[in-house]
């Protein structure tokens, strides 16, 4: 994915899973980092007009389903709509790549995602390719809330 303007002051740029800023931000937010460099992971750095990092987000494409992961907004950027803009970009990206729906696992952000169209789901409702992902099978704790939403065709 090429660099994309998200808001007039926010740009999304693809980065590798081993990007030190991504690893540091996820570690500080107590989010998983052990599988970031595995194949099939896609990550974006979101920067403001000055080039400062506002946040990171990622996704995996799994047989027509998207797994949204590793979303974190930098502390100074919180409360300004950055998280919503990041999620909108991630959802548009995976929809353009052919995903019919988006799934995620969260311990602390269920309310954020529910206000953006996601709903809590039982694990037995998770499509097999998503359930077989490393996120679902070993990285995220069983106590994580599973959420999903349909994507436009």
Q: For residue 3, what pLDDT is reported?
A: 55
State the Cα angle at 61 between 121 and 16, rounded to 5°.
Answer: 120
Beta strands, E only, the chain = 4-7, 10-15, 42-48, 53-62, 65-73, 101-106, 119-121, 145-150
DSSP code at position 38: S
Bridge-based pairing state of the strands 101-106 and 65-73: parallel
Q: What structural domains and CATH numbers belong to the chain?
A: 4-150 (3.40.630.30)
Question: How far apart, in whole angstroms, are the C-alpha atoms of residue 100 and residue 64?
Answer: 6
Please list the pLDDT of the chain residue by residue as tens digits (153 residues). 555 555 557 899 999 999 999 999 999 998 889 899 999 999 999 999 899 999 999 999 999 999 999 899 998 888 888 999 999 999 999 999 999 999 999 988 999 999 999 999 999 999 999 998 888 777 677 778 999 999 987
* Tokens read off for 142: 């069983």
Q: For residue 38, what pLDDT is reported?
A: 92
């Amino acid at each position: 994915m090429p660099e994309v303007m998200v808001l007039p002051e926010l740009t999304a740029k693809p980065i590798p899973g081993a990007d030190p800023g991504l690893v540091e931000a996820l570690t500080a937010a107590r989010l998983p980092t052990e599988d970031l460099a595995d194949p099939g992971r896609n990550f974006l750095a979101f920067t403001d007009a000055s080039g400062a990092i506002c946040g990171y987000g990622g996704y995996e494409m799994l047989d027509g389903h998207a797994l949204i992961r590793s979303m974190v907004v930098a502390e100074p950027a919180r409360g300004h709509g950055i998280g919503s803009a990041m999620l909108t970009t991630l959802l548009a990206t995976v929809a353009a790549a052919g995903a019919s729906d988006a799934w995620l696992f969260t311990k602390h952000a269920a309310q954020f995602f529910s206000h953006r169209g996601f709903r809590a789901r039982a694990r037995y409702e998770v499509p097999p390719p998503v359930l077989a992902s490393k996120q679902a099978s070993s990285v995220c704790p069983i106590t994580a809330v599973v959420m999903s939403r349909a994507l436009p065709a």
